[in-house]
Structure 1
Amino acid sequence: MKRFYFFLTAMLALACAVKSHDKISENALAELSAQKSLWEGADRYDFKYKGRDAILVAPQNPRSDRAWIMRPAFFGAFANADAELVRRGFFLAYYDLTHCYASPPAMRMADDFFDFAKNSLKLKDKVVIEGLSRGGAFALNWANRDPGKIQCVYVDAPVCDFDSWPSPARKDLYADFLKQWDIKSSGGFKGNPIDNFENLAKSGVPVLLVAGDSDKTVPYKDNGAIYAKRFFDSGGNIRTIIKRGCDHHPHGLKNPSEIVEFIEGSCSEDFKALGDRKSKDYKRFNSIHKRARLECAEKFRARKSGKVAFLGGSITEMNGWRNMVQDDLKRRFPDTKFEFVDAGISSLGTTPHAFRMSQDIPELKDVDLLFLEGAVNDHTNGFSGTAQIRAAEGIVRRALAENPKMDIIMLHFIWDGFLDDARKSTTPQTVSNHEKVAAHYNLNSIDFVSEIGARMNAGQFDWKKFGGTHPAPFGHRFYASAIANLFDAAFDCGEARKKNLPAPLDKFNYSRAHFAPPQSAKIKRGWSLENPWKAKTKCSVRGRFKNIAVLETRSAGAELEFDFEGSAIGIYCLAGDEAGILEYSIDGSPFKKLDTYTKWSSQLYLPWVFMFSDELREGKHKICLRMSAEKNPESRGTACQIINFCVN
């Protein structure tokens, strides 16, 4: 009677789960005999399946597709990503295969459990498989066994070679490994993940591998690094996140958002449709301006080497779309050795890009593919339409003069200041200015402002989901997906761009822009060259601008002269909380004033380019700079920190 009462109680508890959690099949209830509790605010059911421990965590608000995650080991360990995914509607299943060492019997048991979850629990017919440490070995081997039932793979510090872990040095564990595989030794053993990846690589199923570079238990160089390289080389879709200085523990990330967004994005059919150029939605919202064939693809294949540069602001500097595009190129050209030049610097738009390009992209003539973005900072920083065209055209003409066969892709990212235009289906003037340059030089470009605005108006996602100006992983994947679609459309397709440069749009464009070192100035009084320069106030200094050579004054009346040849002169400086007003005279003309204090200067030594004149007659000139006693009411002083002079 007691046994019947217990069974009836379990049945009633799970019947409640049916009602609360979108109908877990009644046929499964008798087999579960589960004990109900709570895990991270969600209902947890512990039960035995075929004699092994199993757990199901049911979300309070399940996703409509009943997406689920399967862990084969270490339930609840370092589970902040799992907890967040359950809150977002994922089911979480655990089936204890911890000590099976990814063996063939474990594969069959997992197949059986997968069928049970799919057929009896009515979970999705594709699963997110995740594994930590030895659980990672299982996840990779099982996913490779049948990629068709895998949504995505997340592994953390995974064992990829059993000779590395447990290794013969751990005698008891190694004996267990041999027993599970029914072998006497590992000689000729081919069951390691580093030898079993091709099915998964060819399938396109995305893999996220997180590991510490200082892991002493499962060394990354002997495990994850080998797997990731072989997977890459086979065309696999893999992303690695390497934690600098991290040992085997802790697993995961302190902020799990990258893991969560990777898994959630991999499960989003809606997102996949957004990026599929064959879909009707893609054609409806297409933002790509394909103007010429991307000839770099032919070079990558023929030379088996390639140089790709990324010139932009903070959206390019941050980890995100740039890394994804690099991974995509490696997958498309597995035999090609790439050199990637990451030349993104926060806060900078096309004017500073033009002057720094030859410095920050060494051997510009060898670049095969250049990504250029600057619309966001050109608009944010208030550069005029004329300056936007002069700078963007100058970058393009300089790059193509160095290498006429270089492919250039112009990207127009979105930020808060473009949202009104995006929602009204109008093009921001800054984007129009950059597009004028792209069209004139027959360059491929992508107008993300128009596409994202149209998709938001259609209710596909909102600005919060996208992640704002500095996108969430969802937004970065959106950017990378559109670029991948351009690759699909323009690699090996279409007419080649003509190599002869057309007449310039603006004769004063910055095609000869370069930096001149501060040492070349003639100091008359009050300026000093500091190397290394140290900030004198508590205002923040970004890492790349610490301990560099800077020409500085903090005194009214300080004066210098600088001789140059060209049609434009400016300074690249750090505009901090003491930024002053400069008085300048060119070739003895009356002095004019330029306030170098910006709306961000109170908190940060902001990198900024100030142009004094860019329509001078060609030839030699002299500029005199002096610090005014007058200052901006918001500024704390009369200072200027010059990194370089800007000459065109």
Structure 2
Amino acid sequence: MRQILIFCFLLVFPAVIRAEKTLKVACVGNSITYGAGIAGRENNSYPAQLQQLLGEGYRVENFGHNGATTASWGDYPYTDMPEFERSKEFAPDIVLLKLGTNDTKPQNWRGAEPFAAELGRLADTYRNLPSHPQVIVLTPVRCFLTEEGTISPQKIAGEVRPAVERLACERGLGIINLFNLFGDRWDATLMPDRLHPSAIGAGMIARKVGDYLLAGKKGRKPSFVPEGATAFCFHGFRGYDFRSEGTDCKVVCPAREAEGRPWVWRARFWGHEPQTDIDLLEKGFHIVYCDVADLYGSDKATERWDRFYRYLRKHGFHRKAVLEGMSRGGLIVYNWAAKNPDKVACIYADAPVMDITSWPMGKGSSEGSAEDTRRMMEVYGFSSEQEAAEWKGNPLDHAGRIARAGIPVLHVVGDADTVVPVAENTAVFEAEMKRLGAPVKVIHKPGMGHHPHSLNNPEPIVKFILQATGRYGNPCTQAVPGNEFRSAAGWKEGSEWHTVERDIEESLQGRQLKLLLLGNSITQGWGGQRKLVTWKPGKAAMDRVLGEGCWESAGISGDRTQNLLWRIRNGNYNCCRPEYVVVAIGINNLVVGGDSADETAEGIVAVTEEACRQFPDSKIILLGLFPSGKEKDSGVRRQCDRIHEVLAARKFGKKVTYVNPSQWFLDDRGTIREGLYGGDYIHLTEKGYECVAEHLKELIR
């Protein structure tokens, strides 16, 4: 019996070792990988931030070299660099291959095909290592340089990116598309020199790469291949053209499919503005298409979709589809959803037609389309335009059914759209959905017309879909370091987030405090005895209340809940054995991070609970968000009020005292009293700090 047990253990043990193995990730690339221009790049380059995101179980190493080219004939071939040899000696399990930007310099560029051949040879070199790593190619980020004779934004967009995508598809490589990550307009905060990401930009790269790696670890290789299909490449992913019951159809498969085989049903205009589809492929979704062109959402169209839905369900696709409809695609997604509400996870509609009298009939402010009107009337069987105008099967007419089903809805619209005017379509639908208390969100693009569709950086759309399908991880609760580098943050010149964090730890050593304040820039404004903080409008007030030296501020400008969570967990803040700890965090999640009130509240709860663990002998005061936005009905004020509502209902236990400080600052009308805030109605003046100090004095007696 003992021998049998030993034999079974030996069979299982190798699998256990593999499961617990630390995965080694080699980040191969140029100056963007290296972290050129980033202060404290050892902490703030994208590989360094990726390590923090992935955490235990991964070892990430930076093998970037400034100026490196893919091409062996380039001025700085990567294969001639010492990092190349070191990356191979590292014996990686995963190789992140991000090259191509420097290849577009005039002296290096010989065309897309020679570039792709060189990149393919480099990928093969890594794949053939004894460790047999997974090789994942990263497309270059968009470049915003304007001068001639150097790196070419046009070649990056029009030749390098497509070449990387084709190579990934042909060689079966993983791919992460970074091109649209920073949008289509230069933002100095993300890319100060128009080429190299800042620490914040590097953090965005790290987040996207980390999400891909973690999703892939959970996913599985897709197995769906339609019978009789013809393969094609879709931005680095394998797609299939096929016919189902006589109808042209398409499906694009992710490299690793997510659990449950989730899918997006693209209604019209296949391949147009594909950035949302690409991002969701990276997250394990399939993208499917069933041709209903020129059927305008008629019964013929919905019946065709019914048949295709049954086909996909037979092949294991998720019961609920994500419907994506652009322009006239709004007709089919809403008409099908109205007939099949139990089969819809959510609807993303982009400049959608919601009323045929608006388009194609042109009975409102739109010119409409006479030819499309003729074809539409034919497929619907309308005998006259009056009959069509009186028809009650428009998407606008389905608001009640969509609302009752609780289907989350997102519209993206250009406010200057004259083809499918917002006022005649989305605005009417939105008003009815809100009247019914249904989940609807509209993203407006000021000054934009009907085109271009989507968002250049589709993150808000992708987030909506992930939330609607229960696949979104709240970043507010995921502990990560910050990546700020701003002299205007009230820090001494040259400081960055990690040096400021170390300054806090040093300021706490050898002290026993009455009060420790944890938070963001508002908390940082108390100042205390920290050496790197230059702006201390609250110090005098707190010194008067508590006395100099018996309190300290541990706030960092720009911090969100996830950053403070990391600091509490990893910093040795309890060395000062504070009697009281004040937690005040969350406003940056709302105004910078774009997180919802409920997501932010979850982050605040996580911070508070971690503070209870890390400061076992301290009393915790959870100071809710100060009211932001001057007037009572401002958007950010409503978000703050919602957070207070959530926190007030939370039971933290006797150790925690929750305080809603709103009334400290407001007059009878709910307006912030004069003199307490700066011009942004977020940060406090000296008078504002005096107000808070007096109230804290009462709380810590």
TM-score (norm 1): 0.46
Structure ID, larger Rg: 1
TM norm structure 2: 0.43
Which structure has more RCO (C-alpha within 8 Å, separation ≥ 6)? 1
